[in-house]
Amino acid sequence: MPRIDQDVKLDFKDVLIRPKRSTLKSRSDVDLNRTYPFRNSKKEYTGVPIMAANMDTVGTFNMANALGKFDMFTCMHKHYTLQDWEQFDKTATDEMYEKIAISGGTGDLERLTEIIHYITRIKYICLDVANGYSEHFIHFVEKVRRHFPEHTIIAGNVVTPEIVEELILKGADIVKVGIGPGSVCTTRVKTGIGYPQLSAVMECADAAHGLGGHIISDGGCTCPGDVAKAFGAGADFVMLGGMLAGHDQSDGELIERNGQKLKEFYGMSSKTAMEKHVGGVAEYRASEGKAVTVPYKGDVVVTCRDILGGVRSTCTYVGASKLKELSKRTTFIRVTQQENRVFSS
């Protein structure tokens, strides 16, 4: 008989963070840098742990250049060729390689091996599939770990603790958490599968940290407050797609419609992505994504400042002088309303 888990699982929209007594004078006192030692690669990360998603329009070299200035991270999309990487490599500094990952799915070992052979400064490998629960994927992570013992491996996506533990034990350093929360994701509608993101992050972070692993909260952030909630829930990194779409640094066509500037943004398993990469990997997320146009937002630098300013402010409200202290000082309260929308259109 099917079982029902009666515990209520929550999303970012279901909670707010309770303010606490604080001795901090200003947001500028808050340090958003974190240092993480990685369990399997034995390497270390120091930086602001917010990432651009490895999506066509967002995980771009231009995005990495801009985000790097804020010490933020970019997971490059998987469609860059060796030639593209060689081009980037000519001008990239060593520091930049501390904040970027190459990405691939289960069919990409050869491509990853070739690029990493030539672009020797690559340190992070992001192994991304729609369904991180398949045994095939778990074996793949094991294999990549054997091939690249010293690279820091990101693997996902999953949403439950037991599989987080398994991926870490098989060689992943950082597990990507999120099934269905994404802004251009249709998995929940197409399949009925998913897990509310805030609860997924809380449960998976606990499991990962118990083993010395790390997690990324991937998908579902719609505003800086959501990013702060993900950190408050215990995420080590927060990955953003939609919030970084529509900028100068994002790929995708700039469209003018009725005097309004728009940019295209699409899911990695949308029809648009499939059509663009014909002959792409068979293991692709079977059309569980959509294509949208988002208002053109100019330079991503402005958006980065807005996000970092928001998270800094969260820290001051709860008395966390460092991002590291945010989750310890977070008490979520369940709410029925996020904001007063009387003047919202």
Is residue 64 within 8 Å of 74, Cβ to Cβ?
yes
Residue 283 makes CB contacts below 8 A (sequence gap 6+) with: 105, 106, 107, 129
Paired tokens of 239: 């990955």
Closest CA to 148 of 177, 175, 176, 126: 126
Q: Which is nearer to ligand 5GP, 30 or 284 (CB)?
A: 284
Site string for ligand 5GP, 108-137 (x = CB under 6 A): ----------------------x-------
Is residue 77 within 8 Å of 100, Cβ to Cβ?
no
Per CB under 6 A, the list member of 221, 235, 274, 304 interacting with ligand 5GP is: 221
Catalytic residue of the set 60, 74, 75, 185: 185
Q: Indicate whether 239 belongs to the interface with ligand 5GP (CB under 6 A).
A: yes
Q: Which residue's C-beta sits nearest to ligand 5GP?
A: 289
Site string for ligand 5GP, 1-40 (x = CB under 6 A): ----------------------------------------
Sequence letter at residue 151: H
Q: Which is nearer to ligand 5GP, 68 or 182 (CB)?
A: 182
Map the footprint of ligand 5GP across residues 241-300, applying CB under 6 A. Answer: 241-243, 267-270, 285, 288-289
Smallest separation (angstroms) from ligand 5GP to the CB of 80: 17
Active site residue 185: yes
Smallest separation (angstroms) from ligand 5GP to the CB of 25: 32
Site string for ligand 5GP, 47-86 (x = CB under 6 A): ------x-x-------------------------------
Per CB under 6 A, the list member of 41, 187, 217, 316 interacting with ligand 5GP is: 187
Map the footprint of ligand 5GP across residues 142-161, applying CB under 6 A. Answer: 157
Q: Which is nearer to ligand 5GP, 61 or 266 (CB)?
A: 266
Backbone angles phi and psi of 256, in degrees to 5: -110, 125
Smallest separation (angstroms) from ligand 5GP to the CB of 120: 27
Backbone angles phi and psi of 250, in degrees to 5: -85, 145
Catalytic residue of the set 57, 74, 152, 187: 187
Per CB under 6 A, the list member of 68, 132, 182, 213 interacting with ligand 5GP is: 182
Q: Which is nearer to ligand 5GP, 68 or 220 (CB)?
A: 220
CB burial of residue 332 (10 Å; 0-12, 13-18, 19+): middle
Q: Which is nearer to ligand 5GP, 182 or 252 (CB)?
A: 182
Paired tokens of 187: 């998995």
Per CB under 6 A, the list member of 49, 68, 219, 246 interacting with ligand 5GP is: 219
Paired tokens of 189: 């509608």
Q: Which is nearer to ligand 5GP, 122 or 185 (CB)?
A: 185
First to last CA, the chain: 45
Per CB under 6 A, the list member of 164, 175, 184, 227 interacting with ligand 5GP is: 184
Sequence letter at residue 307: I
Q: Which residues bind ligand 5GP (CB under 6 A)?
A: 53, 55, 130, 157, 178, 182-185, 187, 218-221, 239-243, 267-270, 285, 288-289
- Enumerate the active-site residues: 185, 187
